[in-house]
A and B are shown apart, each in its own frame.
Chain A
């Protein structure tokens, strides 16, 4: 009797134990793939692919986006593949596409989301290349894809060459962001400084990186930037420090394998950042994301931070930030940012329609909508936008948006920052 009872209790304990263990396992085990995604893929991640997105190694493709087929294809259909956040897709679906169809009623536009599916638009690009080789329909007309990130397909001559004749509005686009003739930027986002104007008087607002570092040191605990791998507002702050010690010339940093001569200068940037480490909020507590930085600024824990332009403009519009928060860009060399690029495969069944759609996105009205509705930056020169809008954004307007090449460069940046800036341990001999 007693034995049976005891065995029953032990069994019950084991059962409960295993259930508990399973639950604990469930919250712990799958986290490496699911949880980290949340803090890193803040809205800005889609706006600046180069700077914010995690390295490709982190994404474990479970599916291939190329398996996704559009409902139709042909001469009067525009199939557009996007991995944008839902706010961007909503904007395209509800605002841009209806306006486009009003002007060009002969077309039908399918917006297909490949966000989080395999490698997203890259898979579609591969499919288009395969279709080019076999002379079949790629089922794709526009890809939200920067052709410079995939040199092999560019060499294979997959993309339509874009110029002022086939995309007339291209002539209005800021020169420095036209990085290739196979992709068209149409909206962007840049990192800026946000500050609380009630705590930082106008004459103290820094306008160069050196001034900023001096301000941070003079006001311990009042500045914050996030960990570089957790949000682009942090990584672009770190990138700006690297530019600072390499002669403020972003063009030195080319996609591909990092240049050893430049890498050798990274420790100087770590020194700059290490110098302000203890003056960062809470003795060097770096938040784990763009949003956390916004929260600290909004609730008054800090009075200045590095932030994304689009997130901040939206935060101001929605009242997340008090109206006393002001935005400013450095004027010696601005903080880096990123633009969103569109590419058209040569074998598209509707190259004409695709180019017309891209051209339409660059119309002044739609560029104004990028600023007003998305909080993004226009791809065309600010001077072409209405005067009152320019007035409103005068402190953040810049004609120069440096862009970081990403890839192995970013890996070096992460490791260097974590091993030299964030830690109190002096790194000894390897």
Chain B
């Protein structure tokens, strides 16, 4: 419905007749994805928001607009703890991804050795491992009396405490899972920095640190932003890994939603959590959209 309005109303008044056709064609081309988005995402999302914003009086059957569900969320210490837990995991994971991903990307960008190819394959490997498999592998490996514990014992280290069913376990798995994406985008960004720029800097006597901070970092800011935004959104909404590796309490928002909906049979509560999660991700989403629509710096 919305697309139909767009196609007829928008282009008609101002533009000349010949270009009208091409505009119509363009709108026609984008209408299927727009239709899918509207029907499967926007409408259900709007319904969810409306449901969480209204309460129906049991006695009179009257529906009123209220923030009651949201107030209840922020007054429930357990739900707030879940939100904080999710934010902690997101910050820790994304920070670690940069610490690991940036050196890897730099190495892959500038090394021409054969080892680099092997490192690239290794860095991309997690892309082909589903989260469920990864989680069970980590449980076996990191669990108490698991392989890691046994190895530590062999070299005489005792008192290992497993990260499984703790925040650390979730972070380890999420970092592992997201390395390929981070490295791919960062490497692609670094490849846009032409060799000539780096070489001329080297010619005038810049050391590695200077090249990194003055040239590479500013020029790959854009890809870093893309990685940052998409990783935050992905980690914040992650479900499988926190579900399988996390503690009973607190839970990440994804797990909490499932629990509230499925186990406590509280639909509105789950929807409220979903809307709050969406709002957090939307802020990052806006940042992402601004980054990719912004005109490129240093365009010649």
Residues of A at the B interface (CB closer than 8 Å) are 2, 6, 9, 12-13, 16-17, 20-21, 23-24, 27-29, 31-32, 35-36, 38-39, 54-55, 57-58, 227, 229, 282, 284-288, 292, 295-296, 299-301, 411, 414-415, 418-419, 422-428, 430
Alpha-carbon distance A423/B177, docked complex (angstroms)? 28
Interface centre among B143, B178, B223 (most CB of A within 10 A): B143
Contacts of A55 in B (CB 8 A): 262-263, 265
Given contacts A27-B177, A287-B165, A301-B144, list 18 more A-B pairs with CB under 8 A. A2-B300, A9-B191, A17-B226, A21-B230, A24-B181, A32-B239, A35-B243, A38-B132, A39-B244, A55-B263, A282-B144, A285-B248, A288-B244, A418-B249, A422-B248, A422-B249, A424-B249, A427-B77
CB distance from B270 to the nearest CB of A (A): 10
Alpha-carbon distance A288/B226, docked complex (angstroms)? 35
Given the contacts A9-B192, A27-B130, A285-B247, A414 and B240 also touching, CB distance less than 8 Å: no
Interface: B31 (CB within 8 A): no
Asked if A423 and B127 make an inter-chain contact with CB atoms under 8 angstroms apart, the answer reads: no
Contacts of B74 in A (CB 8 A): none
Given the contacts A27-B132, A422-B249, A296 and B144 also touching, CB distance less than 8 Å: yes
Contacts of B218 in A (CB 8 A): none
Interface: B291 (CB within 8 A): no
Q: Across the two chains, which residue of chain A brings its CB closest to B146?
A: A299
Interface: B162 (CB within 8 A): yes
Given the contacts A28-B237, A423-B81, A227 and B265 also touching, CB distance less than 8 Å: no
Alpha-carbon distance A428/B264, docked complex (angstroms)? 19
Alpha-carbon distance A287/B165, docked complex (angstroms)? 8
Contacts of A415 in B (CB 8 A): 263-264
Pick from A13, A284, A423: contact of B250, CB below 8 A: A423
Residues of B at the A interface (CB closer than 8 Å) are 75-78, 81, 127, 130-132, 139, 143-145, 161-162, 164-166, 177-178, 180-181, 184-185, 188-189, 191-192, 223, 226, 230, 234, 237-240, 243-244, 247-250, 254, 258-259, 261-265, 300
CB distance from A426 to the nearest CB of B (A): 8
Asked if B244 and A35 make an inter-chain contact with CB atoms under 8 angstroms apart, the answer reads: yes
Q: Across the two chains, which residue of chain B brings its CB closest to A412?
A: B264
25 A–B contacts, CB within 8 A, in A order: A13-B184, A13-B189, A13-B223, A13-B226, A17-B230, A20-B180, A21-B230, A28-B239, A35-B243, A36-B262, A39-B244, A54-B262, A54-B263, A57-B261, A57-B265, A227-B248, A282-B144, A282-B162, A285-B248, A288-B244, A299-B144, A301-B145, A415-B264, A425-B249, A426-B77
Pick from B131, B180, B243, B248: contact of A36, CB below 8 A: B243
CB distance from A66 to the nearest CB of B (A): 25
Pick from B166, B249, B262, B264: contact of A423, CB below 8 A: B249
CB distance from A36 to the nearest CB of B (A): 7
Contacts of B264 in A (CB 8 A): 411, 414-415
Asked if A17 and B166 make an inter-chain contact with CB atoms under 8 angstroms apart, the answer reads: no
Q: Across the two chains, which residue of chain A brings its CB closest to B180?
A: A20
Asked if A13 and B165 make an inter-chain contact with CB atoms under 8 angstroms apart, the answer reads: no
By secondary structure, the B interface counts as helix
Contacts of B249 in A (CB 8 A): 418, 422-425
Contacts of A57 in B (CB 8 A): 261-262, 265
Asked if B238 and A28 make an inter-chain contact with CB atoms under 8 angstroms apart, the answer reads: yes
Contacts of A422 in B (CB 8 A): 247-249
CB distance from A301 to the nearest CB of B (A): 5
Contacts of A6 in B (CB 8 A): 192
Given the contacts A17-B185, A55-B262, A282-B162, A428 and B77 also touching, CB distance less than 8 Å: yes
Asked if A285 and B166 make an inter-chain contact with CB atoms under 8 angstroms apart, the answer reads: yes
Contacts of B164 in A (CB 8 A): 285
CB distance from B150 to the nearest CB of A (A): 10
CB distance from A404 to the nearest CB of B (A): 15
Asked if A423 and B145 make an inter-chain contact with CB atoms under 8 angstroms apart, the answer reads: no
Asked if A411 and B263 make an inter-chain contact with CB atoms under 8 angstroms apart, the answer reads: yes
Asked if B132 and A20 make an inter-chain contact with CB atoms under 8 angstroms apart, the answer reads: no
Alpha-carbon distance A227/B247, docked complex (angstroms)? 10
Q: Across the two chains, which residue of chain A brings its CB closest to B130?
A: A27
Alpha-carbon distance A54/B258, docked complex (angstroms)? 13
Asked if B262 and A20 make an inter-chain contact with CB atoms under 8 angstroms apart, the answer reads: no
CB distance from B248 to the nearest CB of A (A): 4
Contacts of A427 in B (CB 8 A): 77-78
Interface centre among A16, A29, A424 (most CB of B within 10 A): A16
Pick from A17, A295, A296, A419: contact of B78, CB below 8 A: A419
Alpha-carbon distance A32/B223, docked complex (angstroms)? 31
Contacts of B250 in A (CB 8 A): 423
Alpha-carbon distance A256/B188, docked complex (angstroms)? 60
CB distance from B136 to the nearest CB of A (A): 9
Q: Across the two chains, which residue of chain B brings its CB closest to A27?
A: B131
Interface centre among A29, A229, A288, A300 (most CB of B within 10 A): A288
Alpha-carbon distance A29/B145, docked complex (angstroms)? 32
CB distance from B153 to the nearest CB of A (A): 12
Contacts of A16 in B (CB 8 A): 184-185, 188
CB distance from A294 to the nearest CB of B (A): 13
Alpha-carbon distance A12/B191, docked complex (angstroms)? 12
CB distance from B69 to the nearest CB of A (A): 13
Alpha-carbon distance A320/B182, docked complex (angstroms)? 41
